[in-house]
A and B are shown apart, each in its own frame.
Chain A
């Protein structure tokens, strides 16, 4: 029995899944509104922007880097796309494409600086983040855009259920984009050549370059992809709140990073899976919603997140160390 479960329980994703199941059971017993269809749909939608960003951050983390400029990139691309749409009447698809292309371009700037200056990417992205964000506030004067065109703010509903209690549950545009991003990122990382190379780069950059992986090209892909997703996330965020505020995304860097890490992506690179990141988001969403329904003060929520992060990383560290010790023993036995 123990042998059977070993491959399941040794992975941090499965322990996360177990925690989620336990939490869901507790909340379902204590609140009748928890996990109703409409509640779940709202919950998923409210975490769409975080999930899209976390997918991009996950790819960068696997490659062994840390990028914290995505919030600044999302703010800048969002504003420029909104300017194009409101002032020059640029239609929907060109505007979205503009936001994503600009985001990818800014991501490539990060990749080029990281590669040519030979500095850890967290330092480079702190610098570029300050520059992008400061220039945005300087040129816009911090002004907000409220008169977004209808195509941007109209709610797109793909499916609509009526639940037994008379509420509506909707499958909306942010959810569809989020699911697409998760699926594409998963396929990129697990089914493509480039994805395997990203894991190799994060696992051991020296070895990766020795076996002939072109590091610059791969880094352009990794940081460009996060920039692209930041552009997309900026668009979705404005779609949800119906306005563009330059400071809206500022300060979300560390919480998105925390979400990606909670899901098992490692800062050292070369580890983690998209599924784990989704589980990390799911855990936070369920905790927030459940505590809300139980009437716990929303001010208390950050305390819970902080504890969740600390417990999760400590458990991961201890299990990994035990795993390494076990592997070391079995290797000795083979010799």
Chain B
């Protein structure tokens, strides 16, 4: 977790100075924002606990929240990596659905219905590998058009989104596939030590993406191309390789989301969960990821997801419609952006005031 009071690294000497300062800036940037989001989450918990005594702060409610969070969470991570790199991936839902359809097709039509024991696991691993390869392919193609042909990621993924959904609909004729082995369904309805398996997957993946983005060379390079693609290229980074990695990683997170979604809905189709697309952008921005690229942290995103889930569960318990929840999510995003704008204006005034004091 980041510490908002963590001091800036002293300006180091040597050839790596700009890079080190950049790393320090990345580590520091989420600080104030994260504190605000945590306060908001705490506030929401308090309000719902008072409004719903004995119903909200309960093991069952918390567990229900953990069951609902993973699919949106994994898809938001798939959106977050391109956003940090200064791009966007509008094809995440299409990718996840197509991967789910491929895996579902293998499990429902290719696997013999009387398979048992080890055979089931064999078929599941075949299906998972096929989905994995499909997502790598989609990521490579997207990354190639973005990096090598040099088209804006919004345009590219608008095209791939239409193309991928088109192929899914064409091959399935709009039908859904369902009826998967129990071993797969278990992911989304069983718990280990009170924690749903799907939530465990999400937590491990989120931690992995966090470490990748903040501690690995590729992660720092992703931040750098988000800040300034040209100057990153001139500083000797192969930006094409980084951009291709961004879309491969994003598509692989879609593959994980696809597995969780298959387990949760027990079906796969070309048009499932389309409404999640814009919500993942909403969650990422709420979590403090800079829409212009270059800045953003997984911790902020996770807190933002918890905020959205808390609003949703709280409203559900209060008996409000799910649509009102969506409206409140929109309001929350605007309010948080307004608060951020207000505090940054205040900070700027404070800084210029303290700068003038010594005179």
Contact = CB atoms under 8 A, between A and B. Distances in A.
A321 interface: yes
Contact of B152 (A135, A137, A268): A268
Given A119-B291, A120-B291, A130-B330, A300 B155 contact: no
B29 interface: no
Interface of B is mostly: helix
B291 A138 contact: no
A267 interface: yes
A138 B331 CA distance: 15
B281 interface: yes
Contacts of A127: 282, 330-331, 333-334
Contacts of B159: 258, 306, 309-310, 313
A134 B291 contact: no
A127 B285 CA distance: 10
A117 B162 contact: no
Contact of A258 (B162, B292, B329): B162
A317 interface: yes
B75 interface: no
Contacts of A316: 151
Contacts of B167: 303, 306
B321 A302 contact: no
Contacts of B158: 254, 257-258, 261, 309
A201 B154 CA distance: 20
Interface residues of B, number: 45
A305 B166 contact: yes
Contacts, number: 131
Given A310-B156, A314-B151, A317-B149, A126 B278 contact: yes
Given A138-B327, A251-B274, A300-B170, A130 B282 contact: yes
A302 B169 contact: yes
A128 B170 contact: no
B165 interface: yes
A302 B162 contact: yes
B194 interface: no
Contacts of B165: 302, 306
B155 A313 contact: yes
A113 B282 CA distance: 15
B238 to A, nearest CB: 19
Contacts of A129: 278, 330
A33 interface: no
Contact of B324 (A68, A134, A318, A321): A134
A123 B276 CA distance: 15
Nearest to B172: A299
Contacts of B145: 310, 314
B160 A310 contact: yes
B341 interface: yes
Given A310-B163, A314-B145, A117 B338 contact: yes
A155 B80 CA distance: 48
B170 A297 contact: yes
Interface string B31-72: 000000000000000000000000000000000000000000
Nearest to B340: A117
Contacts of A304: 166
A118 interface: yes
A143 to B, nearest CB: 13
Contact of B162 (A118, A126, A255): A255
Contacts of A119: 291, 337
B309 interface: no
B152 A267 contact: yes
Given A302-B169, A310-B160, A131 B90 contact: no
Nearest to A119: B337
Contacts of A123: 281, 285, 291, 333, 337
Contacts of B291: 119-120, 122-123
6 contacts: A117-B334, A122-B281, A131-B331, A135-B327, A254-B161, A306-B165
Interface of A: 66, 68, 113, 116-120, 122-124, 126-131, 133-135, 137-138, 251, 254-255, 257-258, 261, 267-268, 297, 299-307, 309-310, 313-314, 316-318, 321
Given A129-B278, A306-B165, 14 more contacts: A117-B337, A123-B291, A123-B333, A124-B334, A128-B334, A130-B282, A131-B331, A135-B323, A138-B327, A251-B274, A299-B174, A301-B166, A302-B163, A317-B151
